Amino acid sequence: MKEWPLLDKYGLVPVPMRLYWLLILLLRPYLSWVLVLTVPAQQKDMLKLFYPQQQDFLIACLLALPVLLIVAALSQRNDKRHAGWRHVWRYGLPILLLCCCADLAYTLYDLPDDAILDAPWRLFTLVGLGLGFGWLCRSRTLPEVFREWPLPVTKD
């Protein structure tokens, strides 16, 4: 017997909390950029702690760019007036799979030999991306979440 999922107040399958955590992990270059913009001027070299070379930061931003579209579509998911985002949302799972796989591959490729000593957070990032990729591939709820969109408002 199939169990019915609990629906949110809009009648849609709720977005799992794990998806939000994965989005935060995939958007880490943009989040670190915002963090650097909010610290005092003397701390501007903090970005070099996460991305030692400027090229690493730019590539990470390019890899995470499609995830910004998913976040924008997610923010419009409960609004019946913005049906244009529906098409982006429908392709959200393959986009996330591709971005997560590309980010995992690039992070693994760019991992320094002494990461365990100098940058252990990169190892945590690898583990998180690996777990996220596995969850995206095996989740039963996510295909339902990405299939749903509220019906447009009809005038009577």
DSSP 77-104: TT-TT-TTHHHHHHTHHHHHHHHHHHHH
Q: Which residues does the chain have with pLDDT short of 70?
A: 1-5, 8-10, 42-44, 79-81, 115-119, 150-156
Model confidence, pTM: 0.83
Which of 18, 28, 54 has its CA nearest to residue 121? 28
pLDDT recorded at residue 101: 95
pLDDT recorded at residue 1: 44
Are 67 and 23 in contact, with CB atoms under 8 Å apart?
yes
Tally of residues, the chain: 156
How far CA 81 is from CA of 64, 69, 139, 146, in Å, comes to 27, 18, 29, 18
pLDDT recorded at residue 4: 56
Does residue 1 lie in a domain region?
Answer: no
pLDDT recorded at residue 93: 93
Does residue 4 lie in a domain region?
Answer: no
Structure tokens at 55: 């090229």
Give the chain's domain count. Answer: 1
Region class of 11: left (phi > 0), else alpha (psi between -120 and 50), else beta:
left
Contacts of 12 (CB under 8 A, 6+ apart): 77, 78, 145, 148, 150
Does residue 136 lie in a domain region?
Answer: yes
Residue 30 belongs to domain spanning: 17-147
Does residue 2 lie in a domain region?
Answer: no
Does residue 12 lie in a domain region?
Answer: no
Which of 14, 153, 9, 8 has its CA nearest to residue 83? 153
